[in-house]
Structure 1
Amino acid sequence: MSARENILKAIAMNQPELAELPVIDIASTIRYEDSYTQFKTVLESIGGKVELISDLTVLKEQLISDRLNGKFVVNTIETLGDVDEKAAFLSAFELEKVEKGYVKGTVGVAENGAVWIYESQMINRLVPFICQHLILVIEKKNIVDNLHQAYEKIDVSKEGFGVFIAGPSKTADIEQSLVIGAHGARSATIYVIA
């Protein structure tokens, strides 16, 4: 028996006993008087921007302006206009020049400022991470207080990939200095439709 097989056998023989998942009383989890205000406060404290809008007119005009100004933008939101279906087939090399990515989110979480996005909402799973400026759109009614409530609203097995995104890319690894946009979007603006 090889060393590898011995190690794997030892690991298999020393597994801890299975423990039941805890039952969480959702009613006793954190709640906020105003979920939107908490969402906005948290997201802005971690470098994101939040704007409350009544409809998509502002974003439609912004998207048209971006395209007229020659910016490489990827729109994945059908209600904003033409969806850039071609982005699904672009490589990281081709997408690295994306200035703005417009993506619709499913649910926002007030306790941490995160927005859940399914892979189908991204068209290409690279878009939210490779663009310079990420534009997320969610409906105010879809902002919940905590992650427990968020997981009740989403189906993580629905698609092969999904992600919570909270603000722009950040790291503080280098000399403990916060750097925004080091490994992904330099900015994240979340438009909340009232």
Structure 2
Amino acid sequence: MSSRDSILAAVARNQPARLPLPEMPAFFTGEVNPVGKFTTVAVSIGSKVFRVQNVEEVKQILLKEHSGASRIVSAFPEFSDVAETNVAAGADPHALADVDLAVLPAQLGVAENGALWVTDAQLPLRVLPFICQHLALVVPRQRLVPLMQQAYEVIAAQEYGFGTFIAGPSKTADIEQSLVLGAHGARSLSVFILEEE
């Protein structure tokens, strides 16, 4: 018997007894409203969360919250009177360096950690949610799931070239162990939970 085989045999003989899986709390089984949990978690990690009826309401809130924004880019045609809504997919990413506010749709949100799933289907350019000063993501209420496991089940069936989970504004605590928001990305994240789809 080789050393490798004797080590593996010793490991196999010394396995602990199997224990039953723990009972899942109500939140994890989907019995709790994911909107409330998502809101609580997202706010705790630095996001602002708004429940809205339609995209026009999103626009009114953002124009008030970001009244000083000189350049707004949006994937929503409803913003065409106040924002650029036709950024070409092949545009130079450096041309977005001065974007004050980006308003984009999210495919789904995860209540467990306040993360939102965005793919290249929603983005004119991949860099947009990371290069803008402020980011707003809009997710339909029906597309909030309780757990990351459920989110992965949804996105596993999709085809996309690029996808990312975004949770809260950019942050780091590397600088003297002090939390800094907006250190290397969007300084703020506003999340809009859309009641109607």
TM-score by length of 1: 0.77
Aligned amino acid, residue 176 of structure 1 = Q
SS of match in other structure, 1:88: coil
> How many pairs does the alignment contain?
169
SS of match in other structure, 1:38: helix
Q: Give the Cα separation in 2 of the matches to 1:84 and 1:121.
A: 12
Q: Give the Cα separation in 2 of the matches to 1:175 and 1:68.
A: 33
Aligned to 1:22: none
**Structure 1 position 154, deviation (Å):** 1.8
Q: Give the Cα separation in 2 of the matches to 1:52 and 1:162.
A: 24
TM-score by length of 2: 0.76
Q: Quick check: 105-114 or 27-36, which moved more?
A: 27-36
Which ranges of structure 1 fall in alignment gaps of 5 or more residues?
1-24
Aligned to 1:101: 102
Q: 1:66 to 1:91 in 2, by over 3 A?
A: farther
**Structure 1 position 31, deviation (Å):** 3.6
SS of match in other structure, 1:124: coil
Answer whether contact 2:117 2:163 (CA < 8 A) is retained: yes
Q: Give the Cα separation in 2 of the matches to 1:56 and 1:163.
A: 23
**Structure 1 position 86, deviation (Å):** 2.5
Aligned to 2:72: 73
Deviations 1:128-151 (A, max 9, x none): 001111010000110000011111
Aligned to 2:140: 139
Q: Give the Cα separation in 2 of the matches to 1:36 and 1:70.
A: 29
Answer whether contact 1:60 1:81 (CA < 8 A) is retained: no
Q: Give the Cα separation in 2 of the matches to 1:99 and 1:31.
A: 39
Answer whether contact 1:104 1:121 (CA < 8 A) is retained: yes
Q: 1:188 to 1:161 in 2, by over 3 A?
A: same
**Structure 1 position 96, deviation (Å):** 1.1
Larger radius of gyration: 2
Matched, 1:90 2:64: no
**Structure 1 position 160, deviation (Å):** 1.1
**Structure 1 position 85, deviation (Å):** 2.6
Aligned to 2:178: 177
Aligned to 1:48: 47
Tell me which stretches of 4 or more aligned residues in structure 1 moved more than 3 Å. 60-70, 78-83
SS of match in other structure, 1:85: coil
Q: Give the Cα separation in 2 of the matches to 1:177 and 1:148.
A: 31
Q: Give the Cα separation in 2 of the matches to 1:157 and 1:62.
A: 32
How do 1:14-33 residues align onto structure 2 when only pairs under 5 Å count? 30-31=28-29, 33=32
Answer whether contact 1:48 1:168 (CA < 8 A) is retained: yes
Identity of aligned residues (%): 40
Greater fraction helix: 1
